Amino acid sequence: MDSLERDIDAWMKQLAAIDHTPRLPDPNSLWVKAKLLQSTAAMERASRPLTRFQIAAYLIVAGGWAALVTWTWSALQAWINSFTPAHIIMGAAGAQTAQSLSLTLLMALIALGSVTVMLAFHTILAEE
């Protein structure tokens, strides 16, 4: 046997002498991990109805915006078009009266906008 074979033979014998039985983790760390997983699962179960309620609220608000814009599109379009420079100058000269939004539409815009902002704030604050 040459020296390389002797070195390999010695190394293989050292490797065979090492105890290769897997070591079990510390029981205390296993218990802590199990408790953490248990509390995480309980938290997810508890928050599931709130998450569903939040999704439903988003769908209701989106439907409200879609309905409001659809039913009042012509009034909104006329109101937005009244902000062009030509309409503003003509309105200031008294040649043309600017179209205004109805009070009901304005209140609906304010209410729906407020609900949207509150829902967005709730989502942002609930994540922290």
**Percentage of residues of the chain with pLDDT beyond 90:** 23
pLDDT reading at 66 higher than 90: yes
Tokens of 70: 């659809």
Rounded mean pLDDT of 27-41? 89
Q: What is the 3-state secondary structure (H, E, C) of the chain?
A: CCHHHHHHHHHHHHHHHCCCCCCCCCHHHHHHHHHHHHHHHHHHHHHHHHHHHHHHHHHHHHHHHHHHHHHCHHHHHHHHHCCCHHHHHHHHHCCCCCCCCCHHHHHHHHHHHHHHHHHHHHHHHHHC
Alpha carbon 44 to chain centroid distance? 16
- Please give the DSSP secondary-structure letter assigned to residue 71: H
Distance CA(106)–CA(80), nearest Å, equals 13
- The model's pTM: 0.55
Q: What is the pLDDT of residue 98?
A: 47
Residue 93's pLDDT band (boundaries 50, 70, 90)? low
Residue 128's pLDDT band (boundaries 50, 70, 90)? low
Distance CA(125)–CA(121), nearest Å, equals 6
Q: Which residues, other chains included, contact 82 with Cβ-Cβ below 8 Å and sequence gap of 6+?
A: 88, 91, 98, 99
Rounded mean pLDDT of 17-46? 86
